[in-house]
Amino acid sequence: MIDAKIPTGDLDKKWEDYKGHCKLVNPANKRKMEVIVVGTGLAGASAAASLGEMGYKVKAFCFQDSPRRAHSIAAQGGINAAKNYQNDGDSVFRLFYDTIKGGDYRAREANVHRLAEVSTNIIDQCVAQGVPFAREYGGLLSNRSFGGTQVQRTFYAAGQTGQQLLIGAYQALERQVALGNVQMFARHEMLDVVKVDGKAKGIIARNLVTGELERHFGYAVLLCTGGYGNVFYLSTNAMGSNVTAAWKAHKQGAYFANPCFTQIHPTCIPVSGDHQSKLTLMSESLRNDGRIWVPKKKGDDRKANDIPEEERDYYLERRYPAFGNLVPRDVASRAAKERCDAGYGVGTSKQAVYLDYAAAIERYGKTEVSKKGLSNVSHEEIIALGKEVVKEKYGNLFDMYAKITGENPYEVPMRIYPAVHYTMGGLWVDYELQTSVPGLYALGEANFSDHGANRLGASALMQGLADGYFVIPYTLGNNLADEIYNAPIPTSHPAFEAAEKTVAERIARLKNINGKQTVESFHKRLGKIIWDKCGMARNAEGLKQAIAEVQALKKEFWSDVRIPGEINEYNPELDKANRVADFIELGELMCVDALAREESCGGHFREEYQTPEGEALRDDENFMYVAAWEAKGEHEWSLHKEELKYDVIKPSQRNYK
Amino acid sequence: MSHTTMNLNLKVWRQKNANTPGAFEMYRVENISDEMSFLEMMDILNEQLITTGGEPVAFDHDCREGICGMCSMYINGKPHGPWQANTTCQLHMRAFKDNDTIVIEPWRANAFPIIKDLTVDRSAFDRIIQAGGYVSVNTGNAVDGNTLPIEKAKADEAFAAAMCIGCGACVAACKNSSAMLFLSAKVSHLALLPQGGPERKTRVTNMVAQLDKEGFGACTNTGACEAACPKEISIANIARLNKEYIVAGLTSE
Ligand SMILES: Cc1cc2nc3c(=O)[nH]c(=O)nc-3n(C[C@H](O)[C@H](O)[C@H](O)COP(=O)(O)OP(=O)(O)OC[C@H]3O[C@@H](n4cnc5c(N)ncnc54)[C@H](O)[C@@H]3O)c2cc1C
Ligand code: SF4
Ligand code: FES
């Protein structure tokens, strides 16, 4: 059993107590301490900015051309906070409770409670930075409800919440760059962690423009490098999102926790053909107002608008009357897959269901009529008014849908299908966000910490910013307070030399294969294996096959991949090859983890373990633990378990009926 | 919906690096579905180039959904191509027809040096933000979010300016390579909100100074930037920027 260093005491006092007693680094010493932050999405930018403000010397890295472009920018729907501005019964406890329950009782109580506590500070901080959240006519902040909860606690900026939050964090970061507290390295990719005496003391990074390898020292290394959803090839993640940084850390001794916990989001634009390079999310907020249905008749080929009301099956409302279209993501995704597998899917591929706004448009239209005190209004006018309201709320999403599909979602129902979206698994961290390698931390989506087996909507942005703005500034100091006695390590140290040599050799090896197949083609094949066998539904047979297939793919990759261009130049194919090589190894571990977890929970649905109604069947007796995997050698891992103790919440079967 | 496929001629700018002169190359791609995105068509070209021993075309892209601002192609004489209010990654092949010739170039501006092929260096934009595009508020300094009510119309207007994705199409579209639309979007976002008030004067002064230092050209009000902007950032922001700048100059101590 591994120790997560959770403070003792009452759940709601733990963080207060911790903050009251943690060690501090005095300002003069902070100025002498370099800290490395890899990744400048919400987690990394907020951490780098905050640490810079505190006086640390920060070096921050990202692979895009600017920190403003991190994948966090794409988040649409919103960010949760237990403000209870709507007076609808929200509280820190309720946000904590919803997150634990939504995660199907596979998250740590202490971390999640802390997250709920600091959620309110995040909103305040972002408002102060000038993040233009949506507001009511009275000038106060507006909220909406979001999948899986019954209170309105989600703050948003139209359908661009992630963009606005990231720009806020980015601006705070650039301010620290201007003040000389943060040095920013854009178009740089971290390719290894450097350890000295068992502690993380730096990184090897590749300048992506020149291809040169660089050594960087830091008293601590923070990985804020995002999730690994692109292991599936097709996902809603940005094209460059990758597991490389986390994977290198894993190979250096950091445990990788719950890799099989991946989130398949229910509302994405369906795949249109083999050429597809990525999938586009239609924000979950659309489920607040849209109704999801398929025809009652199998293989019904009529156009959606020609299918009369009584021949439509609103299957979520039918199966889950209490939550209806707002059931958590894992439940909604599986229900869509179930209908399509059973032959009720729509569109050319039959791998899609309808998300219908007709009823919402009419409802909003009528509200406008009474708001404006209009009389003698025709049906057409009501619909026109309703469309205006929907446009204001979801306009950018509707536009995006129209651009991609060429269809007008104000007139015909949207077609949607589940797609890979988020990874709950990630580097194992303790209460202080430290991995099993001392001095190496993981923040944001890169760690596994707060979402258990399923993440609730609008809580990833919350977690990323909580980690960066409000957690790491305390926990890092607690550990660095002891480091001040150690002199900085020069990058001529043998550990740096050896690490750089390993990285250079691997790149040379990749380049020299000079095979026939493209990196992209390998990535596609990997994605198909993982999607088919370790996707929305898994079984032992399939997982065993997948492991063998991924191992074979790895061999083929390392003997037949073709990377054009030179090593010492701007070479995006080489960057991609580095990442795909790591994804292949991760793919194997995901299947190993999924095979070992003989239960269904959250996003992990093992077909062998389900209730008679087809719902996930947990096995708390045997599997109420975090699976933390330690790398042992090629195709070899050993499992460490972190037992999950529920002192405050009593786990029960999730019931959204 | 029924779908069609097309064959296309591509005239693409190739340039090894900043120090080597570039030139156009012609390529042909076949069986392109009208459902593909423009970048998926470019993926096909690159796969074709790699498997036939050529070098793929380097281009910037990441989110592929019009929000990160990374993609940057000058397509048939227009930044981000023919569609209005659109990024390159959101452009779909429906916009073209069989046997079209498509000319693809990088953003061209002295302040955006070419890195390779269609990839340029836009770090000047980050430096402009560093000059003052923020509110100076350290983590932990904030008061409760609702203690500061903001008129909805103002908040909406600030949001409309804050939607800028920093892509640089405005610069690429402008015959003077002016970055005024980009700058004005940031200045407006913060000037319209009470949070931006205390630093209003220094912000605009310092950001304009940085803009000049980076070598962007002067604004002569052609409006080409607004027409090319994927986020429909309004040119009215430039008028606001000018006003802010003048007021800052007049009232500075
Ligand atoms: C389409 C979409 C919509 C979403 N909507 C919501 C929402 O409405 N609400 C919500 O709460 N969550 C949402 N999420 C999830 C949420 O956006 C992410 O989980 C979160 O933004 C991750 O932030 P992060 O800082 O951990 O990582 P990221 O934003 O992914 O940042 C990763 C950073 O690491 C850098 N990096 C990665 N690898 C390396 C390397 N090897 N070397 C150097 N740098 C590296 C990158 O350059 C980048 O700066 C959404 C996700 C998607 C895909
Ligand atoms: S103003 Fe428009 S064109 Fe210019 S950088 Fe911003 S989004 Fe791009
Ligand atoms: S790739 Fe992100 S905006 Fe085009």
| pLDDT per residue as tens digits for the range A19-42 | 999 999 999 999 999 999 999 999
Are the C-beta atoms of residues A332 and A316 closer than 8 Å to each other?
A: yes
Q: What are the strands of the beta sheet with A636-643, ordered from one edge?
A: A426-427, A256-257, A625-633, A636-643
Chain region(s) in chain B for CATH 3.10.20.30: 5-116
**CA proximity to A465, closest of A208, A125, A217:** A125
Chain region(s) in chain B for CATH 1.10.1060.10: 123-250
Q: Residue B203 pLDDT > 70, yes or no?
A: yes
* The predicted structure's pLDDT at residue A543: 98
CA distance A190 to A244: 8
Chain A, nearest residue to B55 by Cα: A564
B208 pocket-lining for ligand 2 (C-beta < 6 Å): no
Beta bridge partners, A155, equal A79
Q: Residue A365 pLDDT > 70, yes or no?
A: yes
Q: Residue B238 pLDDT > 80, yes or no?
A: yes
DSSP code for A385: H
CA distance A315 to A335: 8
Mean pLDDT over all residues of chain A? 96
* The predicted structure's pLDDT at residue A328: 84
CA distance B169 to chain A (A): 16
Q: Give the count of beta carbons closer than 10 Å to the beta carbon of residue A24.
A: 12
State whether A280 and B119 contact (CB < 8 Å).
no
Q: Which two tokens stand for residue B78?
A: 């227009």
Q: How confident is the model at residue A285 (pLDDT cuts 50, 70, 90)?
A: confident
Report chain B residues whose CB lies below 8 A from the CB of A69.
Answer: 62-63, 68-70, 166
Alpha carbons within 13 A on the beta-carbon side of A409: 26
State whether A71 and B62 contact (CB < 8 Å).
yes
* The predicted structure's pLDDT at residue A38: 98
Q: Confirm or reject contact between B158 and chain A (CB < 8 A).
A: yes
CA distance A631 to A641: 14
State the amino acid at position A485 in one-letter form. Answer: Y
* The predicted structure's pLDDT at residue A393: 83
**Where are any strands of DSSP class E within A96-142?**
none
State whether B155 and A132 contact (CB < 8 Å).
yes
> pLDDT (tens digit, 9 = 90+) per residue, A171-223?
999 999 999 999 999 999 999 999 999 999 999 999 999 999 999 999 999 99
* The predicted structure's pLDDT at residue A355: 97
Q: Which two tokens stand for residue A187?
A: 């178009």
CA distance B68 to B88: 12
- Cβ neighbors of B147 (< 8 A, separation 6 or more) are none
Average pLDDT over residues A301-309: 95
DSSP code for A154: E
* The predicted structure's pLDDT at residue A147: 66
* The predicted structure's pLDDT at residue A327: 87
B179 pocket-lining for ligand 2 (C-beta < 6 Å): no
Are the C-beta atoms of residues A641 and A1 closer than 8 Å to each other?
A: yes
Q: Which two tokens stand for residue B164?
A: 């800028």
Cβ-defined contacts of A20-27 (< 8 Å, 24+): A22/A474, A22/A475, A22/A477, A22/A478, A23/A477, A23/A478, A23/A479, A23/A481, A23/A482, A24/A477, A24/A481, A25/A477, A25/A480, A25/A481, A25/A484, A27/A55
**CA proximity to A458, closest of A285, A282, A236, A241:** A285
Q: Say whether B72 sits in a helix, a strand or coil.
A: coil
Q: Residue B252 pLDDT > 80, yes or no?
A: no
Taking each helix axis from N to C terminus, what angle separates B200-213 and B123-130, rounded to the nearest 10 degrees?
Answer: 150
Report chain A residues whose CB lies below 8 A from the CB of B156.
Answer: 132, 135
Q: Residue B2 pLDDT > 80, yes or no?
A: no
Taking each helix axis from N to C terminus, what angle separates A379-405 and A358-371, rounded to the nearest 10 degrees?
Answer: 140
- Cβ neighbors of A479 (< 8 A, separation 6 or more) are A23, A220, A432, A434, A438, A439
Distance of alpha carbon A396 from its chain centroid, rounded? 22
* The predicted structure's pLDDT at residue B32: 97
Q: Give the count of beta carbons closer than 10 Å to the beta carbon of residue A378.
A: 8
Chain B, nearest residue to A397 by Cα: B65
Q: Residue B253 pLDDT > 60, yes or no?
A: no
CA distance A491 to A367: 66
Q: Which residues line ligand 3 (CB under 6 A)?
A: B 61-64, 66-71, 87-89
Sequence-ordered alpha helix ranges (H) in A561-632: 572-596, 620-623
* Distances in whole angstroms, Cα of residue A271 to Cα of each of A339, A347, A397, B61, B194: 17, 11, 17, 20, 44
Report, in angstroms and rounded to the nearest whole number, the Rg of chain A calculated over CA atoms.
24
Q: Which two tokens stand for residue B54?
A: 């050529």
CA distance A350 to A612: 26
The span from the first CA to the last CA of chain A, in angstroms, equals: 36
State whether A125 and B64 contact (CB < 8 Å).
no
Please give the backbone phi and psi of residue A47, each rounded to the nearest 5 degrees, phi first. Answer: -65, -50
> pLDDT (tens digit, 9 = 90+) per residue, A446-466?
999 999 999 999 999 999 999
Alpha carbons within 13 A on the beta-carbon side of B81: 21
**CA proximity to B185, closest of B112, B235, B123:** B235
Please give the backbone phi and psi of residue B209, each rounded to the nearest 5 degrees, phi first. Answer: -60, -40
Q: Which two tokens stand for residue A207?
A: 């300048």
| Complex ipTM > 0.90 | yes
Pairing of the two strands A561-562 and A517-518? parallel
The superfamily (CATH) of domain B5-116 is Beta-grasp domain (3.10.20.30)
CATH for B123-250 (1.10.10.10, 1.10.1060.10, 3.30.930.10, 3.40.1190.20): 1.10.1060.10
Q: Among A66, A125, A520, whose Cβ lies nearest the Cβ of B142?
A: A125
Q: Which residues line ligand 1 (CB under 6 A)?
A: A 38-44, 61-64, 70-72, 74-79, 161-162, 188-190, 224-227, 236-237, 241-242, 244-245, 281, 421-422, 444-446, 458-461, 464
CA distance A604 to A615: 11
State the amino acid at position A538 in one-letter form. Answer: R
Percent of chain B residues topping a pLDDT of 90: 97
Average pLDDT over residues A634-644: 97
> pLDDT (tens digit, 9 = 90+) per residue, A504-559?
999 999 999 999 999 999 999 999 999 999 999 999 999 999 999 999 999 999 99
**CA proximity to A29, closest of A61, A56, A1:** A56
Percent of chain A residues topping a pLDDT of 90: 92
Q: How confident is the model at residue A323 (pLDDT cuts 50, 70, 90)?
A: confident
Beta bridge partners, A38, equal A61, A223
Q: What is the 3-state secondary structure (H, E, C) of A301-353?
A: CCCHHHCCHHHEECHHHHHCCCCHHHCCHHHHHHHHHHHHHCCCCCCCCCCCE
Q: How confident is the model at residue A137 (pLDDT cuts 50, 70, 90)?
A: very high
* Distances in whole angstroms, Cα of residue A634 to Cα of each of A407, A638, B230: 48, 12, 47
Buried b (16+ CB within 10 A) or exposed e, A328-366: bbbbbbbbbbebbeeebbbbeeebbbbbbbbebbbebbe
Report chain B residues whose CB lies below 8 A from the CB of A46.
Answer: 139
CA distance A436 to A441: 9
* The predicted structure's pLDDT at residue B49: 98
Q: Which two tokens stand for residue A68?
A: 């403003």
Are the C-beta atoms of residues A479 and A432 closer than 8 Å to each other?
A: yes
Substitution target in B14, B51, B65, B94 with the highest count of A β-carbons within 10 Å is B65
- Cβ neighbors of A311 (< 8 A, separation 6 or more) are A295, A296, A297, A300
Q: How confident is the model at residue A148 (pLDDT cuts 50, 70, 90)?
A: low
Nearest atom in ligand 1 to A226's CA: 27
- Which domains are assigned to chain A? 266-420 (3.90.700.10), 498-623 (1.20.58.100)
Q: Residue A433 pLDDT > 60, yes or no?
A: yes
CA distance A271 to A420: 12
DSSP code for A468: I
CA distance A547 to A259: 14
